[in-house]
A and B are shown apart, each in its own frame.
Chain A
């Protein structure tokens, strides 16, 4: 079973609109972290936002917010007031065993290709 599921292979959005990118995850570990990365065509992975499984508040970073619904195992990324420069691949990722200082790498979803139209 996939640990990270991103159901939107591609999205077209009008500039200045808000965007929600879906991500669901599967883990039995009570301690985990969820990440969102942006990957433009240059290939670099740009960290956007992080949510720990024990965090009480939804994470926010500027125009990015994470809609964390623990019971549903959902961690959707919301981008407010989208810009042309937001066009890129977006990956949701998870690391398990956070509190134990686990040295595990990230498990990534398949990504969503977001295109912002003028």
Chain B
């Protein structure tokens, strides 16, 4: 089955620093990757859609200068939380959609738990 990895699985950083999270599709090529955010005991909220070779599309209310997304290849997308603050502490999950025609499924990574102190 399709596998998506995320690195790191958890990270603790100090307020004001930047953190980069990687999302990789291991055994398939992903034309589109998605970044979600989940606060404790809440649902997943889509932050942005990332297409290989083009700029990410951000959802309303998500600061694109704060959450930098780079989709450099068909197997890698990165999310950088810049100048992190405690309110950015959350569970960040990526998903990837296969470039295979007709594929509807999104494959989720295991998530990255970010704690900003």
Contact = CB atoms under 8 A, between A and B. Distances in A.
A62 interface: no
Interface residues of A, number: 22
Contacts of A52: 104
Interface in B32-59: 32, 34, 36, 38, 42-46, 49, 51
Interface in B63-108: 91, 93, 95, 97, 104-108
B interface, by DSSP: helix, strand, loop or mixed?
strand
Contact of B36 (A42, A44, A105): A105
A105 B45 CA distance: 10
12 contacts: A35-B106, A43-B38, A45-B44, A45-B95, A45-B108, A47-B106, A47-B107, A91-B44, A105-B36, A106-B34, A108-B45, A109-B43
Interface of A: 33, 35, 37, 42-45, 47, 50, 52, 91, 95, 98, 103-111
Interface of B: 31-32, 34, 36, 38, 42-46, 49, 51, 91, 93, 95, 97, 104-108, 110-111, 113
